[in-house]
A and B are shown apart, each in its own frame.
Chain A
Amino acid sequence: MLGLNKNDTTLFVVIIILTILAPFLLNPFPTESTLAQFNAGYPDLMEKFVVFGIFAIGFNILFGLTGYLSFGHAAFLGVGSYSAVWIYKLFTYNVIPALILAVIVSGIFAILIGYVSLRRSGIYFSILTLAFAQMSFALAYSVLSNPKFNLTNGETGLQIYANDLQLFHRESLPNFPHIFGLSMGSTYKLGVGPWEFQFNVAYYFCALMMIASFYFAIRLFRSPFGMMLRAIKSNQQRLNYTGLNSRPYMLAAFVVSGMYAGLAGGLLAVTDPLAGAERMQWTASGEVVLMTILGGTGTLIGPVLGAGFIKYFENIFSKINDQVLHQWFTFLPDGIEDFLVAIVHPFIGKGWHLTLGILFMLVVIFLPGGLVEGGQRIARIARRLMNRDKAADAANVSAE
């Protein structure tokens, strides 16, 4: 179907179903229950899942296929956001032109950075991209926000003010990013018994974009172009002596990857119409590296899983505090309860990075293929157990 082989079609259909049903699947606990804080099915977080999923899918096209580790991908995320917000400020809140500009501008930006950075490989490439990203951050944070020429609005971040031009904005249109009049902020709430499910326009719009991005990524992975990129990772010298110029292949991969990041940046401005320089900082670049490695480098689904995993931790684990812990351990004698809370305390709330770090180390050491490898191992064990059961059944039948 759609030019995909059987396995890829299955994967693609599963992804579509999961993203469509996410408001249900991520909201397993009733609103009033104590476990409700583990629910991830609210628009803000679900949007982050899919937007950073797109970011990581794009990053994986570069890192997973070619092995070139970019440490400055957040620059493209930021450029995408700024471009989108400028469309809002000057023309319209409609998200389509905003996203188109975000992708184009980040693509041009990627050509410039890639052209210079790709002169080197390995660690030098990583350092060059890091340097470019930090320069972009400095530009956005201070240089390009002076009173004479204010492109980024510095520390405050670029946002929409009442006196902005907004050439094509009409009274009848929502005062928020919208798609042909349908506001991105509108949410339909469905109450089923004690549960409440939220269906948000921005989420479904971002999810649609992620599904499209995922589809293009599958096609790219399976194309001759994708094979060339894997060949670069495997043996760049051989590729050159085989009559292929690795430079334009690398640049093309870098630009495609940068455009994915630009799309993700634009979508961040779709869910919330502002753009800040911190989006370009090196921690943001590092985060997408973590997402990709945690999920499974070079796999199709891995980056999306990694992005979801990290964003879940960032938003859910950081919300657990001592009070919540006391509630959980309340059945224990007081002394033990306090002791347990004291032990767990550093790993929750603001300490969620600590938990994430430990999990990351465990994954890298025991599952070098990331969460995807974990899934594959579980599937293999399950299959073996099932086969054993079948064999046992067959033995029983023949014995009777």
Chain B
Amino acid sequence: MNHDKQMIRVLIAKVGLDGHDRGVKIVARCLRDAGMDVIYTGLHRSPEEVVTAAVQEDVDVLGVSLLSGAHMTIFPALLKLLRERKAEDIIVLGGGVMPDEDVVKLKEMGVKEVLLQDTPPEQIVTTVRRLVAERGPR
């Protein structure tokens, strides 16, 4: 596949049993409206499924939404799988409801940014663009 070099590719995912998809759909839509190439996995995916999809689709960004409280289990699993697949250059973003101290820990682990409830759509778009620009071309 020959992609437009300028177009940022994003995989938005829901992992685990959590069914809250209001926020994730808004995120997917505002990134799409901002001209990015957005794929949404749908609900109830395992970390393996999501990482496989991210690698296969050659995305720049993997955004994972969690409102189930399982973020401290699921993000480490995702990051480990990405390392195993030599895909650490995929930018991992988190979103949902999680306590501030967990956000700090997630960033230490390698999650690049966590976008919590009520993050304005514009800020989501600029965050993704900034992180992709900071990483540079692959």
Interaction A to B: no
